[in-house]
Amino acid sequence: MCARSRFPGCKAMSAITVRNLEVAGYTDRGRVRSVNEDACGFHADAGLFVVCDGMGGAAAGEVASHMAVESFIRYGSDHLGDRVTPEVLLRKAVLAANQEIYQRAQDQPKLEGMGTTLVSLLLEETADGTTAWVAHAGDSRCYRLRGGKLQQLTLDHSLVEEQMRLGRLTRREAERSPYRAIITRAIGTTEDVEPDVLREAAEVDDLYLLCSDGLTRELRDEEILQILLEEAEVQPAAVRLVAKANARGGHDNTTVMLVRIR
């Protein structure tokens, strides 16, 4: 497999510098779960990065997240030259993953109901610089570190997030809610899915973080920020983030992908 195209390539850990990007990914089972239902992958030449967090009985969650990563990266890199906007490309790549998983679940009863979150980053190079496009469904997140500030770019598709937005829950209550794991959008569970897509102009030295909720359940945003500020390189930063989530109990699988623009 080409070093520039890895899926689900960061099962253990990988770091790579390609184009103007520094990339590191790390996924870990954690301290409680017996399997890792997270998956992540990237195609650096295409500027595509993705993290998925699967769900479903038996091995179904693992199947869903790996299928989503592979399908998303395959579609995205194969159709990069199509005359469509990055937003359309991302929507189609997400739909391709959705269809593949949904169909497999229909065909194999033991995989019925499987699904996965998906958060992805597409870095588009233009004459004016780099544009970051983020597509997601579920509660895996994208953050961006710029000028010493960490900003969460995605809004979780989760029950507690929606309740918070309606003013029915405080953040503190949401974090402690027994319903906090319930997501309101996922890949593969229904015939169709509509990801949220956002874009922003990226700047040199921007650091994008894609992660599963295994990270954000254990670490507060300030703690994530502190590690990202302390570590100059993406690889040790990814390792430390996961290690800290595990030190807090590692109740869930944790996946981190870091992409810095140079």
Q: Where does this chain bind Ca ion (CB under 5 A)?
A: 53, 212-213, 252
CB of 139 to Ca ion, least distance (A): 8
Query: Between residues 210 and 261, which has the closer beta carbon with respect to Ca ion?
Result: 210
**Cis geometry, peptide bond prior to residue 109 (ω within 30 degrees of 0):** no
Indicate the SS3 state at residue 41.
strand
Query: Between residues 133 and 143, which has the closer beta carbon with respect to Ca ion?
Result: 143
User: What DSSP letter does each residue of 66-90 carry, written as one string?
Assistant: HHHHHHHHHHHHHTTTSSS-HHHHH
CB of 95 to Ca ion, least distance (A): 23
Task: Give the Cα separation of 236 and 124 in Å (integer).
Answer: 26
**Which residues, listed in sequence order, are joined to residue 18 by a DSSP beta bridge?**
21
Task: Give the Cα separation of 230 and 238 in Å (integer).
Answer: 12
CB of 171 to Ca ion, least distance (A): 19
Query: Between residues 212 and 246, which has the closer beta carbon with respect to Ca ion?
Result: 212
Query: Between residues 30 and 47, which has the closer beta carbon with respect to Ca ion?
Result: 30
Query: Between residues 28 and 53, which has the closer beta carbon with respect to Ca ion?
Result: 53
CB of 107 to Ca ion, least distance (A): 25
CB of 133 to Ca ion, least distance (A): 24
Instruction: State the angle between helix axes of 234-247 and 221-230 in degrees (0 to 180), rounded to the nearest 10.
Output: 140
196 burial via Cβ count (<10 Å: 0-12, 13-18, 19+): middle
Q: Can you read off the two tokens belonging to residue 229?
A: 């500020």
At residue 236, φ and ψ (nearest 5 deg) are: -65, -30
Query: Between residues 235 and 255, which has the closer beta carbon with respect to Ca ion?
Result: 255
Q: How far is CA 103 from the centre of its chain?
A: 22
CB of 10 to Ca ion, least distance (A): 16
**Which residues, listed in sequence order, are joined to residue 126 by a DSSP beta bridge?**
129
Residue type, 225: L
